[in-house]
């Protein structure tokens, strides 16, 4: 009995339980560490990090939205840099449009203020001149409200003539003749050879003058039919014309 009392059961239990608890606690810690390591290594652990990334993205998005002109840039998802470029392009386009309007209102060469001269926006007259001999002067006056360009040279046709007079290349100007409203341009026509070398001489009673467009021999619009002298105009195979000129003296070579 005394031996039983010297070794109480409670003494053995108390000594054993703390050690077992410590062992279980260590095992639990190891298990938790293993789970944490597994979570970091598989896709689930990266999902948690993804939540942090989403939070960063959410912070960046209001910043881009707050940037002026970033409405379209934020939609592209390229950041405030794209939004800034988009804003610049818009400002540049606006400046260009404003500049174009200003130029159109002050620069006679502005595209919006220029049209092709033809029979619908000009008044055309012809007259025979004494010098040079056998020449005719063609005058075109801009009667429209916009500047008009006299391109290349007039295409002449007397009555039912089946051929077009050639243009003298040595009279081609360096720039297109542009007429402001009320201004006139000129061309000269050699009607017949002074030495009589021309062939097929005939008197014309009706003259049609055609205008060329922006490219050679293209249609420039309405033709003109100026009045001729009652006696008509004599011409032969020597008939040639000059390019359009700024002055009557240049058209007649005087």
Question: How would you label 125-157 residue by residue, b for 16+ Cβ within 10 Å and e otherwise?
Answer: ebeeeeeeebbbbbbbbbebeebbbbbbbbbbb
Calculate mean pLDDT across residues 118-134.
95
The mean pLDDT value for 19-33 works out to 46
pLDDT digits (tens, 9 = 90+) for 164-205: 999 999 999 999 999 999 999 999 999 999 888 889 999 999
Computed on alpha carbons and rounded to an integer, the radius of gyration of the chain in Å comes to 47
pLDDT (mean) for 52-61: 38
Between residues 46 and 147, the one the model is more confident about = 147
pLDDT band at 3 (very low <50, low <70, confident <90, very high): very low
Torsion of CA 12, 14, 19, 22, to 10 degrees: 160
Joined tokens for residue 160: 């039912």
In this predicted structure, the answer to whether residue 156 has a pLDDT above a threshold of 80 is: yes
Structure tokens at 90: 């818009």
For residue 149, pLDDT beyond 50: yes
Long-range CB contacts (within 8 A, 24+) of 231-234: 231/203, 232/203, 232/204, 232/205, 233/126, 233/128, 233/136, 233/158, 233/191, 233/203, 233/204, 233/207, 234/191, 234/192, 234/201, 234/202, 234/203, 234/204
Rounded to the nearest integer, the mean pLDDT of the chain is: 72
Q: Which residue has the higher pLDDT, 43 or 225?
A: 225
Q: Convert the pLDDT of each residue in 57-105 to its tens digit.
A: 333 333 333 333 433 344 344 444 443 444 443 333 433 333 333 333 4
Query: Does the structure show a pLDDT above 80 at 28?
Result: no
Q: What is the pLDDT of residues 110-122, one digit of tens each?
A: 666 799 999 999 9
Res 244 pLDDT > 90: yes
- The β-bridge relationship of strands 240-241 and 166-167 is parallel
Judged by average pLDDT, the poorest of 8-22, 192-206, 215-229 is 8-22
Give me the pLDDT at residue 109, please: 53
Token output for 181? 């409203």
Tell me how far apart the alpha carbons of residues 60 and 155 are, in angstroms, rounded to a whole number.
69
Using 50, 70 and 90 to split pLDDT, how confident is the model at 41? very low
Q: Determine the pLDDT at residue 1.
A: 41
């Amino acid at each position: 009995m005394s031996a039983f009392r010297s070794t109480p059961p409670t003494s053995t239990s108390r000594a054993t339980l703390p050690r077992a608890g410590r062992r279980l606690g260590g095992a639990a810690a190891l298990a938790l560490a293993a789970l944490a390591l597994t979570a970091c290594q598989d896709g689930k652990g990266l999902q948690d990090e993804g939540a942090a990334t989403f939070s960063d993205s959410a912070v960046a998005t209001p910043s881009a939205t707050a940037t002026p002109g970033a409405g379209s840039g934020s939609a592209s998802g390229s950041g405030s840099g794209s939004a800034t470029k988009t804003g610049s392009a818009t400002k540049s386009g606006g400046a260009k449009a404003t500049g174009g309007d200003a130029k159109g209102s002050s620069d006679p060469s502005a595209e919006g203020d220029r049209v092709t001269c033809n029979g619908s926006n000009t008044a055309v007259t012809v007259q025979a001149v004494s010098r040079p001999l056998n020449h005719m002067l063609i005058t075109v006056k801009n009667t429209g409200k916009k500047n008009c360009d006299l391109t290349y040279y007039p295409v002449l046709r007397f009555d039912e003539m089946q051929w077009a007079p050639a243009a003298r290349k040595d009279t081609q100007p360096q720039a297109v003749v542009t007429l402001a409203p009320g201004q006139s341009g000129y061309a000269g026509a050699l009607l017949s050879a002074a030495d009589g070398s021309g062939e097929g001489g005939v008197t014309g009673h009706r003259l049609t003058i055609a205008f060329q467009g922006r490219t050679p021999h293209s249609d420039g619009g309405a033709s003109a039919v100026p009045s001729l002298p009652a006696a008509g105009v004599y011409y032969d195979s020597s008939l040639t014309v000059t390019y359009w000129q700024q002055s009557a003296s240049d058209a007649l070579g005087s």
